[in-house]
Structure 1
Amino acid sequence: MGEFFSVACAAVWAMAVVLFRRSGETLPAFELNLFKNLLGVALLIPTVLLTEGLTLPTYSAAEWGLVAVSGVIGIAIADTWYLRALNLMGAARTGVTASLYSPFVILLSILFLGETLAPWQMAGFVLVLAGILLVTWRTNRMDVSLRALRLGVAFGAGSVLLMATGVVMVKPVLEGDDFFWTVLLRLAAGTVAMLALVAATGSAGRVMARYREPQPWRTIVVASFLGTYLSMILWLAGYRLTDASVASVLNETAAAFIVLFSWWVLKEELSPRRIFGVLLTFAGVSVIVSL
């Protein structure tokens, strides 16, 4: 089930990314991240009450700290940087940069969780990354400025490093009995950190002005529901039920799903190279989950 949840998370996240693109990205990265996180917290509160009741989780002091820090770096900072990279250099290049996620998680899991990858899992990992590079890489790199490209790569690489750090940090807590509490408190910690930054910088007026501007709210709300609430539950469930290194590789299939959903929803071109890349990606997933 851990492998299933990880692939399902990739599919749901990919649809969210396509819908964010369809909305025109009219909200800046910070405001968009804050909105989707607030919506996620609002949806997770009744979810926690229905599944786990009012009893707070029995964390140790160290576990409370891990959940909070994981939320701040993995949601407040990492998600904002990811959306910033998306705006700077587009989905394709961001997808290539996000391929660093699996290597980061694997390295951190080996260092801090004592995990290892079997040779056949490494072979599947190589197939997944090769497929992702085929479906996301573009030969024409002149449609964005060199400065935007450098900033985009910096924000993208930084975001996936922080995401990897955050999820490896919280994995031991996820394996406990308070799963939905952990999901909620992690998201709440990131959201509170963002609200504190708004208050400290006196930018509440600017943020609210952005929200009052005409926005494609229906699309943004659906994308936020998929990208924050549903995909986060699936994402963390995958890490709870399988090794972090395996889950991270399967999460990379989001790039292939983005290509398919962009063709279906946005009517973007689906070239033979991209079709082959999608097939290669899913071949790698089959190797990882079936042997």
Structure 2
Amino acid sequence: MFQVFISYRGEIAGLSAALIWACASLVYIGVGRQIAPLALNLTKGWMAIALIALTGLATGQTLPTLDSASLIVLLLSGAIGVGVGDTAYFNALNLIGARRTLLFETLAPALAALLALFFLQEQLSLQAWFGIFLVLAGVVWVVLERLPELSEAPHQTLRGILFGLLAALAQAIGAVLSRSAFIGSDVDTLSSTLIRLIGATLVLLIWGTLQQQTREIVKPLQSQRLFLIIAGTAFISTYLGIWLQQTSLKYAPTGVAQALTSTSPLFVIPLVRLMGDRVSMRAVVGVLIALVGVSLLFSRA
């Protein structure tokens, strides 16, 4: 059993990250109405950095010595994937809602696999590509259910679509950059998570300053309730979630890792069912299709 876990630790980590992000998304939808997306992303980022620093102190772990190329790649991965990608994602959530935003997120695995193919020469088997296709098909099938008509505010809808596309592209680029750093160095997953979050925080600080969002940035510090909610969610989604994502990218091919971490919408279904919402047969079918794809990704060898 332990040997199976070791063999598929990248895939297991990817699914675990998706489950964590599904739980966190239910919280972020509410928090996003109280704080600007950039400020929310920055706040959860520095909170997660503090948690990782405490983890390092508790375990006696220090940052490894990295060559400048790997360090820059990880900083860029965080700046693009977490800084730009998550901020665009939160903006899309506010403009076009969770269902449409998640639809655009399903583009990320295919984009990541294609970028890895061209820039890392990372080959996937036909079985793996078919598995990715089934995972995406299942997610899209679920997300498209009862998709509302386009908003009566076309400008808002267009902005939401652009933010959704930007989020998917940024997260795919961030994943490929992380994977290239793992290939080119022996950096561990916790240290890579810390470096990525530092890169994201730096770009968000500059971005927020240029947009004169200082008041929004300090807003979580002015409300104890909001601070505690963001802190708890940051621990789950950013500290644990990105750590698991990095583990997935280290031990599984980029396209496989990104496909598995994009299954969050499937985990939302049982969560909302537990909260009392009705789950349709279409949603169940979508989950089953995606699970077949996941099984193919786990048997990729």
1:252 to 262, 269, 274: 262
Asked if the contact 1:101/1:248 (under 8 Å) is kept, the reply is yes
For the pair 1:274 / 2:283, whether they are aligned, the reply is: yes
The unaligned stretches of length 5 or more in structure 1 are: none
Is the 1:52–1:180 Cα contact (8 Å) retained in structure 2?
A: no
TM-score by length of 1: 0.91
Give how far 1:30 is off.
1.0
Give the superposition deviation at 1:196: 2.9
Please list the CA deviations of residues 147-188 of structure 1 after superposition, one character each: whole Å capped at 9, or x if unmatched: 222211110111111111112112132351433222101101
- Is 2:88 aligned against 1:78? no
Amino acid at match of 2:45: N
Structure 1 counterpart of 2:170:
162
- 2:272 maps to which of 262, 265, 276: 262
Aligned residues: CA RMSD: 2.1
Distance in structure 2 (CA, Å) of the matches to 1:150 and 1:27: 22
Cα distance in 2, alignment partners of residues 159 and 146 from structure 1: 20
Pairing of 1:230-249 with structure 2 (within 5 A): 230-249=240-259
State how far apart, in whole Å, the 1-side matches of 2:29 and 2:232 are.
12
Query: Cα offset for 1:211?
Result: 4.7
1:21-60 to 2 correspondences below 5 Å: 21-23=29-31, 25-51=33-59, 53-54=61-62, 56-60=63-67
Which 5+ residue runs of structure 2 have no aligned equivalent?
A: 1-8
Asked if the contact 1:88–1:151 (Cα under 8 Å) also holds between the matched residues in 2, the reply is: yes
In structure 1, give the amino acid aligned to 2:19. Answer: A
Q: Aligned to 1:106, which of 108, 113, 116?
A: 113
Q: Deviations over 1:111-151 (max 9, x none)?
A: 11111221222221221111111111134324563222221
Residue aligning to 1:135: 142
Counterpart pick for 1:146 among 142, 154, 171: 154
Percentage of matched positions with identical amino acids: 29
Aligned to 1:227: 237
Structure 1 counterpart of 2:239, which letter?
Answer: Y
Task: Say if 1:76 and 1:193, in contact at 8 Å, map to a contact too.
Answer: yes
The separation in 2 between residues aligned to 1:206 and 1:13, in whole angstroms, is: 24
Residues 87, 263 of structure 1: CA spacing in aligned structure 2 closer, same or farther, 3 A cutoff? Answer: farther
- 1:42-100: CA deviations, max 9, x gaps? 1011223344633x422112112112211211121111111110111111111111010
Does the 8 Å contact 1:18/1:262 carry over to 2? Answer: no
User: What amino acid sits opposite 1:241 in the alignment?
Assistant: Y
> What's the offset of the Cα at 1:223?
2.0
Deviation at 1:29, TM superposition (A): 0.7
Query: Which piece of structure 1 moves more, 281-290 or 32-41?
Result: 281-290
* 1:9 Cα deviation after fit: 0.8
Change (3 A) 1:201 1:99: closer
Structure 2 partner of 1:88: 95
Compute the TM-score of the two structures, normalised by the length of structure 2.
0.88
CA distance in 2, matches of 1:214, 1:231: 24
Q: Count matched residues.
A: 289
